[in-house]
Amino acid sequence: MKLLIKNGLVVDPANKIEDKLDVLVNNGKIEKVGKNISDKGAKVIDAKGCLVIPGMIDMHVHFREPGFEYKETIASGARAAAKGGFTTVCCMPNTNPPIDNQALVDFILFKSKEAGLIDVLPIGTITKGRAGEELSAIGELVTAGAVAISDDGSPVMNAEILRRALEYCKIFNIPVIEHCEDKNLSGEGQMNEGFYATKLGLKGIPKAAEETMVARDIIIAGEMNARIHIAHVSTAGSCELIRQGKKNGVMVTAETAPHYFALDDSALEGYDTNFKMSPPLRSKEDIKAIKKAIKEGVIDVIATDHAPHAELDKNIEFNPAAFGIIGLETAFSIMVEELIASKAVPLSTAIAAVTINPAKILRLNKGTLTEGVDADITIANMDKTVKITEEFFASKSTNSPFIGRTMTGTIEYTIKNGRIVYENK
Amino acid sequence: MAFKHLIALEHVSKEDMVSVLELAKTFKELILRPVKKVPTLKGKTVVNFFFEPSTRTKTSFEIAAKRLSADVLNLAVSTSAVVKGETLLDTINTIEAMQIDMVVIRHGTSGVPEYLAKRIKSSVINAGDGMHEHPTQGLLDMFTMIEKKGKLDGKIVCIAGDVAHSRVARSNIWGLKKMGAKIRVVGPPTLIPKDIDKLGVEVFYDLKAALKDVDIINILRIQLERQKKNLFPTTREYAAFYGINTEKLKYATPDVLVMHPGPMNRGLEISPNVADGPHSVINEQVTNGVAVRMAVLYLMGGGKKDEIIN
């Protein structure tokens, strides 16, 4: 089957393309990208006024299966991803049981195939049971199909264990993805430490809880000449440490999440638990620094940290409420509003952060519209608005801080291997 | 003026605070009479929901409601369904289905009164939430200060001790600021929360400097478990640096007022001879607490200021 996408603004950062072009898809692959393509047998999508980009990649989601299927399943998460314009996502292993063996990697891949919408790629744990004590069988995880390892949700507090994980992963050339949080410093903290935490009487999480771990990890990775990927960067200080690390030649890459450049800790007034996440929302100055870091390529990737939680976990008192928010279906709108429309970040840089950059870090042959690659394509509108309601979400959970807002930027089509898996009707 | 909820002094206007304080004066006269009861809240039901141990605040609310002839139900956490795994909201909804009018709530998590106020029909009175606010304590402290000092405008009030964990401190700060007082906080840096100066208070770590020219000292209770979290090394050292005794009281104005929300740790944050001394109004705070809570319940029960008793 052939698909011809006409008249769109094609942005393919890997190939340095940003132009009004047509894209022809044949047999699930990109056949041609060029001007005025015509093909009689192809189904035509008119992408006039739309952006045509490589299928977006989210390297940090929580699909909760196995163990917490009441929050999300791989199938429901895949639907949310497709709706959000993502054709590939990587799911974190903090499930129950955690993904620390090859049988569970197989399970994720099986469930992904069964859902049949997008690629859900597993990330294995760094340590057995995510307990931070003994290395997982990393080789077996990778052989089964894990694309990275992480104990996300928790840091590897023991620096020696992190060191060994970093060294050992050189065999496989996969990134170790670290959740940077010194648990002693974050303690029982509920939100960013500062004026609003003081005012609201909520225990604070200092920026140092993140930054000391970012610094530690970069130093160890530098000395071991190994790869480290810093998850969900939330502070200006972390950006600065990563900038320095890169300058010094350390193999450090980093991601941030859309909420860290859209919201600050003043949003916690009112105690809405949909603004509670880890790391917490920080200050306006941090937002500015994060946007700058994306623009300069210090932060390579935008990943949603899609963290579904049910009513039971969220509609309760603030302290026991779960950390985390969903993000797959609002990510593109936030990027449009905060980065692209406001010109804080050039269009191709923003798109690279959800396409070619995560693909490179994970060594996936994805994230481009190069002729011959899998036809994973996202078609989006940067002017159309959408009202965010609970009914809007395909995710099983609706723990979004953006409910009630009208947002600019919509996903019109998500195409996976040449097949339309989402269409905005 | 009538309140629907009383959650935080941050959100109460100066005018409304003045109304409560004026009304409380009338109620104080009433409770000093031999017959202390009026029929204003007859037929109304007030539920005291205390998720943290409390003697004085719970008793104070109970007596205030009873003197207004309301029916009062006391629910402590150990007897409530919360321990059976029910959510807080379900528990409150169950009680509310029995047709109550007001919920007085104390809870260890900041924000719980606001959370409930957004979700139930009854009036919610915050009797202390986590480290956030304790608005009736703020009001009764101000009532006592005005009673003794005439007015608050221009007075210097020093809040001493564990400001970080104190809901009393926050309600004092919001209330006193609106009434025109100058506010200082003093304590070890580990117990002074970040950016509190942005609330319009002056921060001190040195007690002597903090007490200079002070008209009123409000001494906060220091909880012993803070020492286990390394917020100060020993209680002995805390008492030496920040405990208020007669010697340190001399740093302040000669007629300084000494207050404490209770319960006191005698010998730690306050020495016995200060607690029982001529500057102390600690017991009067308790009496005033009943009058202030009567005023709050009265106004929230729909009573008008002018149709008061007599």
With beta carbons under 8 A apart, name residues in chain B contacting A195. 194-195, 198-199
Interface membership of B225 toward A (CB under 8 Å):
no
Q: Domain ranges in chain B?
A: 9-133+286-307, 135-284
With beta carbons under 8 A apart, name residues in chain A contacting B170. 199, 201
Which residue, among B83, B116, B120, B131, would best test binding to A if mutated, counting the most A CBs under 10 Å from its CB?
B131
Indicate the CATH number for domain A55-362: 3.20.20.140
Q: Note the pLDDT of residue B76.
A: 78
Selecting from B107, B110, B194 the residue whose C-beta is nearest the C-beta of A200 gives B110
Which residue, among A186, A199, A275, A311, would best test binding to B if mutated, counting the most B CBs under 10 Å from its CB?
A199
DSSP class per residue in B234-272: -HHHHHHHH-B-HHHHTTS-TT-EEE--S---BTTTB-H
Indicate the CATH number for domain B9-133+286-307: 3.40.50.1370
Q: Which of B309, B15, B240, B289 is nearest to B142 (CA)?
A: B289
Q: What angle do CA A59, A327, A321 make, to 5 degrees?
A: 110
Give the mean model confidence (pLDDT) for residues A217-223.
Answer: 98
Q: Is the peptide bond before A401 cis (omega within 30 degrees of 0)?
A: no
Question: pLDDT for A242-283, tens place per residue?
Answer: 999 999 999 999 999 999 999 999 999 999 999 999 999 999
Q: What angle do CA A230, A257, A260 make, to 5 degrees?
A: 105
The tokens for B289 are 């607490």
Give the mean model confidence (pLDDT) for residues A198-209.
Answer: 98
Exposed/middle/buried for A343, CB within 10 Å: 0-12, 13-18, 19+? exposed
- Kindly compute the dihedral angle of the four CA atoms of residues A23, A27, A30, A34, in this order, to the nearest 10 degrees: -40
Instruction: Please state, in angstroms and rounded to a whole number, the distance separating the CA atoms of residues B163 and B161.
Output: 6
Q: Note the pLDDT of residue B27.
A: 96
Contact, A325 vs A400, CB < 8 A?
Answer: yes
Contact, A67 vs A95, CB < 8 A?
Answer: yes
Distance from CA of B33 to the nearest CA of A (A): 39
With beta carbons under 8 A apart, name residues in chain B contacting A194. 194-195
> Taking 60 as the threshold, does the pLDDT of residue A341 lie above it?
yes
- The average confidence (pLDDT) of chain B is 93
With beta carbons under 8 A apart, name residues in chain B contacting A191. none
Contact A197 B199 (CB under 8 A): no
Interface membership of A319 toward B (CB under 8 Å):
yes
Question: pLDDT for A129-179, tens place per residue?
Answer: 999 999 999 999 999 999 999 999 999 999 999 999 999 999 999 999 999
Q: What angle do CA B142, B146, B149 make, to 5 degrees?
A: 130
Contact B109 A320 (CB under 8 A): yes
Question: pLDDT for B139-187, tens place per residue?
Answer: 999 999 999 999 999 999 999 999 999 999 999 999 999 999 999 999 9
Instruction: Please state, in angstroms and rounded to a whole number, the distance separating the CA atoms of residues A261 and A288.
Output: 7
> Taking 90 as the threshold, does the pLDDT of residue B77 lie above it?
no
Interface membership of A267 toward B (CB under 8 Å):
no
- Kindly compute the dihedral angle of the four CA atoms of residues A152, A155, A160, A161, in this order, to the nearest 10 degrees: -30
Contact, A171 vs A196, CB < 8 A?
Answer: no
Q: Is the peptide bond before B272 cis (omega within 30 degrees of 0)?
A: no
Calculate what percentage of chain A has a pLDDT beyond 90: 100
Q: Which residues of A are catalytic?
A: 305
Instruction: Please state, in angstroms and rounded to a whole number, the distance separating the CA atoms of residues B76 and B70.
Output: 19
Instruction: Please state, in angstroms and rounded to a whole number, the distance separating the CA atoms of residues A171 and A160.
Output: 18
Of the options 3.40.50.300, 2.70.98.30, 3.40.50.1370, 3.30.9.10, the CATH number for the domain spanning B135-284: 3.40.50.1370
Residue A309 vs residues A154, A262, A321, A390: alpha-carbon distances, Å: 17, 21, 10, 13
Contact, B6 vs B12, CB < 8 A?
Answer: yes
Contact B132 A201 (CB under 8 A): yes
Selecting from B107, B167, B194 the residue whose C-beta is nearest the C-beta of A194 gives B194
Instruction: Please state, in angstroms and rounded to a whole number, the distance separating the CA atoms of residues B268 and B244.
Output: 8
Q: Note the pLDDT of residue B79.
A: 54
Q: Note the pLDDT of residue B223.
A: 86
Q: Which of A338, A368, A294 is nearest to A87 (CA)?
A: A368
Distance from CA of A157 to the nearest CA of B (A): 20
Q: Model's pTM, two decimal places? A: 0.95
Inter-chain contacts counted by CB atoms under 8 A, chains A and B: 64
Residue A96 vs residues A93, A135, A413, B53, B277: alpha-carbon distances, Å: 9, 18, 33, 36, 61
